[in-house]
Amino acid sequence: MTQALRHDAMRARNLALVLGAVGARGSVTRAALAEITGLTKTTVSKLVGDLIEGGLVVETGTVRDGERGRPGVEIRISGQRVAALGLEVNVDYLAVCVVDLARTVRLRRTQAVDNRAAAPVDVIARLGDLAATIVDEAVEKGLRVVGGVLAVPGPVDMTSGVVHNAPNLGWRDVPLASLLRFPFPVRVENEANLAALGELWFGSGLPDFLHVSGEIGIGAGLVVRGRLFRGAHGLAGELGHVVVSPGGPPCRCGGRGCLEQYAGQDALLTAVRGAAASIGPAAGTRQAGASGEVRAEEPREGTDHATGEEHAPSPVPPDGGAGATPGVPDDAEAGAMPDVPDDAKAGAPVDGEAGATSAVPTDSEPGAMGGVPDGGGAGVTDDDGPPAHLGRTTWAEAAMTSASPSPEMLLPAQQGLSWVLSRLREGDENARAACERAAWALGVALSSAVNLVDPDAIVLGGIYAPLFPWIGHTVADTLKAHLGQMRGAIPPVVVSRLGAEAAALGAAGQVIEQVMADPAALLQG
Ligand SMILES: [Zn+2]
């Protein structure tokens, strides 16, 4: 390595060191930076000068006493120049957002579209149009979008950007990265992974948790000590295809009885519709065999589970009528869906175990996101509004707190869900039964996940965020029934602060992390 190359490498490392220290401290003087990094004050001043020139940090102008009584100008991350683009293609919507380097959401757009009916090239063209609009608006605000990440609901080859199999989109071996046309680099990543990272960076901030993205498909992302666990092939977290019942209804993945067939959005909506038409089972009909194994009803003739038409898959055995409980021994409670407490039936959340379900709202009306804290999340700036906390402005929360949420405030995936939520708020028994069944199946699948990976907490996101008041207890109770004897305490089940926008935020967050890790690459570019 030549001396010049060594110098460049050292400068790059020091720039990252200084920028990281600013990011970690929030605001810090040059003198303090020298102490933190071990670099000389002269070196720090030069590096800070480069970072200011690149628009990555800014002087606040606030003068205060330094660490040793000397005045100093504080430096903080600048949200005025560098920004990241988050993109998401999901089954029934597109989403884009722009987040600045200070992690404030500056712009966001969603578009309802059934991507199952479109060719990948057309989906990406539509997404490109949506992104171009928002990037133009970002430029008008003085922002420079330096990169993007695209979230897709399926396993992605991180190197090639090929989506090997997104069953809910009907995509196989789609070279998605090569279809993207942006004036900056855009990578492709799995939606559930990005949603978990979104929760890490913009939501709860817990260092160890399993995040569950409930959409038409169900994905999970495992965060361990602040880092995403991808698995050997990047395929970890396919929770939707964890088997709840081996003899259950066929799944698009080729298997049978997957969680997705019980607790995915299509399955839930169809179950509620089916229950509303009095063809589905009522509450209390979930069954367990002697082993605790739940048997599943075979798909009814003429039912197309691929389209989610007709009726929902149900864990009611073929020989069990609504309300019947054949084959359930008295001691099979550990495997059976536990009764839902009366207060949960009324939609009112209750306190969980010690330390458990800590985010279960305790004082809110049904449908209210009582577990959303007031502070700590990312700020959001609407196009012409002031920054506001995400917890006050998520689409998910809009679906919950408004008696008649305006359609544009809902992610398309939640427009069908809003009908379910309205039924739940009205105390509809059938809708509640459908949610309890989905929650029970989710609890069963999560019990296996907990046994395997021992997460510190379980965060329910996507459609499960607005549904949380009606599913949180049953999920927690099912976990306790399955895990209680082995473990002193089950992991707390908490609601995501972000809901359905977690993946797009995580996508933008990845770009920000990349800039923070290697600011020299940006300054040279
Ligand atoms: Zn499956």
User: Does the pLDDT at position 127 exceed 80?
Assistant: yes
Interhelix angle 30-37/3-25, nearest 10 degrees: 110
pTM: 0.73
Q: Residue 232 C-alpha to ligand 1 middle, in angstroms?
A: 20
Q: How far apart are the first and last CA of the chain?
A: 22
Q: Residue 218 C-alpha to ligand 1 middle, in angstroms?
A: 10
> How many domains are there within the chain?
3
120 shares a domain with 160: yes
* Rounded CA separation 439/297 (Å): 17
Q: Residue 254 C-alpha to ligand 1 middle, in angstroms?
A: 6
pLDDT of the residue at 69: 59
Summarize the confidence of residues 201-227 as an average pLDDT.
92
273 shares a domain with 145: no
Q: Residue 315 C-alpha to ligand 1 middle, in angstroms?
A: 15
Q: Residue 257 C-alpha to ligand 1 middle, in angstroms?
A: 7
CATH, residue 185: 3.30.420.40
Q: Residue 189 C-alpha to ligand 1 middle, in angstroms?
A: 20
Q: Residue 101 C-alpha to ligand 1 middle, in angstroms?
A: 38
Q: Residue 304 C-alpha to ligand 1 middle, in angstroms?
A: 15
pLDDT of the residue at 43: 96
Q: Residue 249 C-alpha to ligand 1 middle, in angstroms?
A: 9
Which range marks the domain in which residue 166 is found? 82-203+504-524
366 shares a domain with 242: yes
* Rounded CA separation 385/20 (Å): 30
Cβ contact 153:191 at 8 Å? yes
In a domain, 510, yes or no: yes
User: Does the pLDDT at position 510 exceed 70?
Assistant: yes
114 shares a domain with 51: no
Q: Which of 55, 77, 99 corresponds to the end of one domain? A: 77
Q: Residue 128 C-alpha to ligand 1 middle, in angstroms?
A: 30
pLDDT of the residue at 200: 95
Q: Residue 83 C-alpha to ligand 1 middle, in angstroms?
A: 37
353 shares a domain with 217: yes
Q: Residue 167 C-alpha to ligand 1 middle, in angstroms?
A: 9
Q: Residue 161 C-alpha to ligand 1 middle, in angstroms?
A: 23
86 shares a domain with 66: no
User: Does the pLDDT at position 377 exceed 60?
Assistant: no
pLDDT of the residue at 106: 97
pLDDT digits (tens, 9 = 90+) for 420-447: 999 999 999 989 999 999 999 999 999 9
Containing 162, the helix (H) or strand (E) segment is strand 162-166
246 shares a domain with 160: no
483 shares a domain with 354: yes
Q: Which of 20, 42, 77 corresponds to the end of one domain? A: 77
Q: Residue 228 C-alpha to ligand 1 middle, in angstroms?
A: 23
Collect all residues with Cβ–Cβ distance below 8 Å to 476 and sequence separation of at least 6. Answer: 352, 353, 356, 357, 360, 443, 490, 493
User: Does the pLDDT at position 337 exceed 50?
Assistant: no
In a domain, 271, yes or no: yes
Count CB-CB contacts under 10 A for residue 122.
12
Q: Residue 229 C-alpha to ligand 1 middle, in angstroms?
A: 21
Q: Residue 200 C-alpha to ligand 1 middle, in angstroms?
A: 27
262 shares a domain with 130: no
Q: Residue 412 C-alpha to ligand 1 middle, in angstroms?
A: 23
Q: Residue 267 C-alpha to ligand 1 middle, in angstroms?
A: 13
Structure tokens at 111: 């578009």
User: Does the pLDDT at position 223 exceed 90?
Assistant: yes
In a domain, 403, yes or no: no
